[in-house]
Every structure is written in C-alpha cells, then in structure tokens.
Amino acid sequence: MPQYQASYVLATYRKMTSFMTSHSNLAVLLRHSRELITSLQTPSGAYPASPDFSAYQGFCWFRDGSFIADGVSTVGEIDSASRFYDWCARVIDNNKGQIERIVAAAAAGEPVPDSQMLPTRFTFDGLPGDDEWWDFQLDGYGTWLWAVVAHADRHGLDLGRWADAIVLTVDYLVSSWRRPCFDWWEEHCEAVHISTLGCIQAGLQAAERCGVIGGARAEAVSLAVAQIADLIATQGTDGAHLIKWIGNPALDGSLSSLLAPLGVIAADSPLGQGTIAAISADLVVGGGVYRFRADTFFGGGRWPLLTCFLGLAKLAAGNRAEALACLEWAASTATESGDLPEQVDGGELLAPEFKQEWIDKWGDVATPLLWSHGMLLRLAADLGICPTAHTCSQASTPAPTQEAAS
C-alpha cells in the first residue's frame, strides 16, 4: 500500500475541512469509526451489524463482519480483526458436521435444500438464532476467506489458527458455489448473483495461494476459480459492464467490490472501467450510491458503504480525485455524534412512498451501521489518509490549520 507524505495527508485534511462541519471532520470521524467498531465488538469477537436497530440486534453477519474486520485491519487494529476471524472459525468448526453433510450430498448429486445450508448471520455466541431470515447467502463465506488471508498477508500472521476453518469453508464453497441464493441485500434467492460469485472467487483464490490447502483439494479450488471467472466473463456482463445477476442486465452498487477491494476484475480493464462508468451514470446522485434502481427498502436511499466501494474501485482504476470525492460524500452522512447510517434520504429517495412502512416495521434507518464505518476506514486507508495505526493516530490529530480553524 502506498505511503503518502504528511503534506499530502494535510492537503487532504484541508480539503475535507473545507466541506465538513467542525463536529465531524475527517480525522475525528476516522478515530470515532475505529473506536466504535472496537468498543462494540463482543467478547466472543463478533461485530454487531448495528447495536440498536431492531431487526439486526444481537446478530453478526459474515458479510458485514468480514468487511468491518478488513477495515480495522487496514488501520492497524490487528487484534480486533483476528478476534473476529477467530469467531468465524469457531462458527465454521462448530458446523463441521453440517458442512460435511452438505458436501457429501452435493457430491452424490442430491444437494440439500436451501434451509439446510449455512445461515448468513449468527448470534454473538455463534448460534443460528430463532428469527426467520433470508438466510441462505454464500457471499459472506467467500468474503471471510478473502479477508482473513488479506489480514494475515498484511500483518505477517500465521494462518494456522484459522486453517481448519479455511479448509471447511473451501469445501463448502467448492461444493455449492453454483447454487442460486439470496444476494448481498438478502433478496432474489432464485438467482445467481454476480457479486456473490465475485466474493466466492476472491475467497477461493485467496485460499488457493495461502498455503493451507493442497493436493486434490487445491486442484478442485483451481477448477472452481477458473469456472467462476469464466461464468462471470461470459454471463455476468452485458458486454460493457458487470450485471446484477445471470439473466438480469440491471446494475447493482455491490458490483464495485469485484474491482476493489476483492480484485477479481481488473479496475483498469475495459470491463472494470465500464462497470465504474455504468454505476456512476445509473446509481449515483449527488455523490452517493444507490443499491439498485428498483430499491424500495426505507424508500431506497443512497448508501455510504457502497459509495466507499465505488471509491475503492475508482482508486484502483487510478482516479484518486473521484475516490476522494466518494470518501467526502460518505463522511458527510455522519450524524452529529459521528455515526454513519446504513443509508440516507437527503430528499433523493428512489421510492419515497415505501419509507414509512419500513419505519413502522423496524424503526429508523440503522445508525450506526458498523459496515459503513469499516468501509470508510478502508477507503481512507487506501487513499493514504490513515494507512497504519501509527499514521492514523497522527492523521487523527492534525495541527489545526487556518482553514480548519475558521
């Protein structure tokens, strides 16, 4: 990761302070993000998706958690991220019997029903919980593999403590990656989603090169990776950009993640550039990114975390200025106390008539959403604003400038 000079960090900070209000300047917001995530992490290592939001309370998602852990890993919270991956490994190890049954059934050509696949979220104690949920989602299992290997690489850690769970997750994904399942937004279980495939490919690729698997298993992983890449290349695009699911040419804000941080599509390739251009044209209003055009959840607002994913993709494609603008927009959604929401209204909802019914059902929009904070940390780190624990703490307390003070 590139290190930037203090002058760059300061220049960035000055730029930020020109638009951000004094209570939530970037440095304070980054420090708050970091503290919020680490302080809310449970003793078991789980990250709550959102501490008070009714529908998420008491649960930790593999998807949210892996990106949150990745965010804090990039700013030097090594222990926090490791404890989250320990939690993932415990959950997976505890479900070893179920995974073995799923793998055997798939091999015998009689795959288990969706209801017997692993859930997407668990209680902090690692149990499935009793609530009805749109549970069968494969992406988070790929994302945790990708994230734990990236964490070990980044900090020179031994993967040994996670090795058994990595192997089990690999077996689970290799056996079942072709299955339709719910997507990042817990919708459309009938479809094969391109973002889900991207997360699985990234995870299997990470497992392939991390040295934990070998022999026939490694060969099966290589084959699955090649097949997933081929499926994305042949049926996951409309020729110009990635698409939402196989057979549906719509866009989805989650597709940026395949460019960065997952890196399964080169951001500067024609497909990468086409995806950035299409998302920017179709899903961005006023700097913030929608999930997809037909979104009605809480009226269909713009998501800070998706704006950070777009920023990461733009940065990977070499567009630093626009990546910084994404960070600025995401940061600008912070509340007075520095909490980032799941989504914002801002008078730009796609389907405002649906907002109240969600408020009646679940209460106000989830705030803080830890995943939003994790993505802000990751984008800031990649921009060189908060690259390590040491420089992050320096960047968190910059000397006030004339502009900042005024």
Residues in touch with ligand BGC (CB under 6 A)? 49, 56, 61, 63-64, 184-186, 369, 371
Q: Give min distance, CB of 95 to ligand BGC, in A.
A: 19
| Nearer CB in complex with ligand BGC: 64/70 | 64
Q: Which is nearer to ligand BGC, 275 or 372 (CB)?
A: 372
Nearer to ligand BGC among residue 26 and residue 49 (C-beta) = 49
Residue 223 carries which side chain, given as an amino acid letter? L
Rounded CA-CA distance 206/152 in Å is 11
> Measuring CA to CA, how many Å separate 307 from each of 86, 129, 186, 227, 267?
29, 31, 19, 30, 16
Please indicate whether residue 183 is annotated as part of the active site.
Answer: yes
What is the rounded distance in angstroms from the CA atom of residue 63 to the CA atom of residue 172? 16
Closest by CA to 88, choosing from 142, 50, 34, is 142
Contacts of 31 (CB under 8 A, 6+ apart): 392, 393, 396
- For the record, the structure tokens of 342 come out as 């799941």
Least distance from ligand BGC to the Cβ atom of residue 371, Å: 6
In whole angstroms, the minimum distance from the beta carbon of 145 to ligand BGC comes to 17
Residue 63 vs 378, nearer CB to ligand BGC: 63
The answer to whether 169 and 228 have CB atoms below 8 angstroms apart is no
342 is catalytic: yes
Within a 10 A sphere around the Cβ of 272, how many other Cβ atoms? Answer: 21
Nearest distance in Å: CB 77, ligand BGC: 20
Residue 368 or 398 with smaller CB distance to ligand BGC: 368
Q: Which of 186, 252, 339, 382 is catalytic?
A: 186
Q: How far apart are CA 310 and CA 249, in angstroms?
A: 19
CA distances from 74 to 71, 234, 245 (A): 5, 33, 30
Least gap, CB of 272 to ligand BGC (angstroms): 23
Give the active site residue among 70, 139, 171, 183: 183
**DSSP-derived 3-state class of residue 122:** strand
Nearest residue (beta carbon) to ligand BGC: 49
Active site residues: 183, 186, 342
